[in-house]
Amino acid sequence: LSVGKTVAAAYHLSTREARRELEVRVNNKCLEVQQAPKYFGVRLDRSLSFKKHLEEVKAKVTSRVVLIRRL
């Protein structure tokens, strides 16, 4: 387990519970905690709403549509 490459995140369907502070240690070193880490290309936020992921997909699609329109 590479502490430098590994991130921690907590997930919960209750927004209140998902906002809890998290501290995970491996070999006495704290892992970075991310609000919405990316797993297999999908951005997962703490409440599993996929808002961040959909925002990123929308931005990609918009930029590609602009490129296609220029053709």
Contact 23, 30 (CB under 8 A): yes
pTM of the model: 0.66
Q: CB–CB of 9/42 below 8 Å? A: no
In the chain, the percentage of residues whose pLDDT exceeds 90 is 30
Give the domain ranges of the chain: 7-70
- CA–CA dist 12, 64 (Å, integer): 34
In the beta sheet, which residues pair with residue 30?
Answer: 25
- Asked if 8 contacts 33 with a C-beta cutoff of 8 angstroms, the reply is yes
pLDDT score recorded for residue 53: 93
Using DSSP, state whether 7 is helix, strand or coil: strand
